[in-house]
Amino acid sequence: MSESAIVEHIYPRLPVFLQNAACWYYGKKEARTRFGSIFEKRLLELMDSDRWSAAEIEAYQNEKIRQLIRHAYESVPYYRELWKSLKLSPEDIRCREDLPKLPVLTKENVRQNFDRLVSQKVSRRDLVFRHTSGTTGKALHFYATKPAIAFQWAVWWRHRLRFGIGPGAWHANFTGKRVVPVGQSTPPYWRWNRPLHQALVTMHHLTAGKISSVIEFLNSHPFEFYSGYPSIIHMLVLHASEAGLALHSPPRAVFTGAEKMLDFQRRDIQKFTGATLTDQYGCSEGCGNASHCPEFVYHEDFEFGVMEGVELQRANPAKSILCTGFANDAFPLIRYEVGDSGVWQDSAHACPCGRSSRALLRIEGREDDYVITPEGTRIMRFDYVFKDALNVKEVQVVQEQLGEITVRLVRRPGYGTSDEAEILREIHRWISPGLAVRFQYVEEIERQPNGKFRAVVSQLTSQPHAPVIEAARGECSLIAQRSSKNIQRKPSLNE
């Protein structure tokens, strides 16, 4: 039986102490990949380069670009053949300003040319198989190397060190992973991953009936920080606030990522925790990253890759984000279209923190409604459902009434009844066993003006938990109530 089959069929039936043992085993494996001598070396280098001048940053990135382009041309069939057809050679790409000469790499390009994007200089034994979250039904698979993974974790821990949190700090990670079986009705609603110094709290159990047990647990363990998707941590805050509960042992910091933090979410989380709330932007593919400085400005983690902004439409300050990664030479992504957009700060305006790396005023990621399950859980992310749905091109989840959802889906040629049955099973495993599901097959998902679509849409004319709607009303028309005319449309969170 494969490891994934063990997780799906055996893990939920294990007693809690064996589930904690399984989390320990996973954590031990991940710790060996994420941390070690390479991580330590990279983190020390990153702490030093964090204060480099603009000239030093430019020289570093230009040298890395030249090395990467030469490597890709010589060892990656996809790039070599494409660039030759365009009459481009490595000599044509000498600096950051030359990158627009190269075509954009889309997720579809990666899917269709998966094997041809693997470097011929890297042994297959050294590759680590990965996949993206697939928030919009566009999950894709790729390879990384252990040094590349360690580099990415060093970037993420530099961000935490900026706020006084160092490696080894104990923390609570709020996750959508089913480390606690969805159907469990008594505490503990958490599991321990001790090698990574974390307690895992699942989104499925952040409900009104279970929140007091979760808050009691958080108060009994003085975690230094919390991490997770903004929507999941906000779910904790909403239910706890509605129940009149409080944190007596609050964290020093809350680190979020993978979703755009909405203004009312930020307000509520800061008010409830009293902690410093900070964010970093990245992607599972590990080819670009931007992290908050102590002034809460996003700075490009220039050592890790280049983030370009490509104009979406005239007079729109937001630009599509393209990433060119330096870390993963086994599966290099060059001018890769992440799917989000950002607004860059004018280079003439220096950040008060003193850092010279390029800064972004904001990241305009995907903003979605939430689905309310029969159990009362609010779910914004369905990426766990579709991460392995290779025959799905795009998908949107729509809720029109309580207790059921419609899955609007664009099929690939190989899609069949078995794919539909598997998606249904995954929804009942990950989201709710009592949720009714309808499938609607469409040619395309309606786009917003910026070219994106919304992964989750609520058409409920009224929703339970009125305080949630009141908190959102007037601040963000993108959540809770939405009329039918608005049916439009992310490394990896780093835990």
Q: What is the pLDDT along the chain (495 residues), one digit of tens a residue?
A: 445 556 668 899 999 999 999 999 999 999 999 999 999 999 999 999 999 999 999 999 999 999 999 999 999 999 999 999 999 999 999 999 999 999 999 988 999 999 999 999 988 888 888 877 655 455 678 899 999 999 999 999 999 999 999 999 999 999 888 899 988 999 999 999 999 999 999 988 999 899 999 999 999 998 999 999 888 898 899 899 999 999 999 999 999 987 777 788 899 999 999 999 999 998 888 899 999 999 999 999 999 999 999 886 666 678 889 999 999 999 999 999 988 888 999 887 899 999 999 999 988 765 567 888 888 888 877 877 887 788 888 889 999 999 999 999 989 889 999 999 999 999 998 888 999 999 999 998 886 654 456 788 988 864 444 333 333 333 333 323 332 333 232 333 445
- Domain 75-148+282-364, second-level architecture: 3-Layer(aba) Sandwich (3.40)
Calculate the CA 326 to chain-centre distance. 19
Domain spans in the chain, listed from the N-terminal domain onward: 3-34+166-251, 75-148+282-364, 371-486
CB atoms within 10 A of CB 264: 18
Comparing C-alpha atoms, which of 363, 411, 367, 404 is closest to residue 386? 411
pLDDT at 1: 47
Q: Beta strands of 73-231 (E only): which ranges?
A: 127-131, 141-145, 171-175, 190-193, 198-202, 225-228
Residues composing the chain: 495
Calculate the CA 5 to chain-centre distance. 24
| 39, 154 contact by CB (below 8 A) | yes
pLDDT at 469: 33
- Alpha carbon distance 26, 387 (integer Å): 19
Strand 198-202 to 171-175 pairing: parallel
Counting Cα atoms < 13 Å in the Cβ hemisphere of 155 gives 30
Q: Beta strands of 366-492 (E only): which ranges?
A: 371-372, 378-379, 392-401, 404-411, 436-441, 456-458
| 254, 278 contact by CB (below 8 A) | yes
Percent helix, strand, coil in the chain (nearest 5)?
35, 20, 40
Tokens at 211, concatenated:
């929140």
| 463, 480 contact by CB (below 8 A) | yes
| 312, 451 contact by CB (below 8 A) | yes
Q: How many helices (H) and strands (E) does the chain have?
A: 13, 20
Enter the CATH code of domain 371-486: 3.30.300.30
- Alpha carbon distance 472, 154 (integer Å): 35
Q: What type of residue is 393?
A: K
pLDDT at 452: 55
- Alpha carbon distance 305, 285 (integer Å): 12
Angle at 453 between CA 448 and CA 455, to 5 degrees: 145
| 322, 307 contact by CB (below 8 A) | yes
Tokens at 5, concatenated:
């089959």
CB atoms within 10 A of CB 242: 14
Maximum CA extent, the chain = 66
pLDDT at 124: 84
Comparing C-alpha atoms, which of 429, 310, 304 is closest to residue 373? 429
Q: Could you give the C-alpha distances from 70 to 65, 92, 117, 479, in angstroms and in order?
A: 8, 10, 14, 46
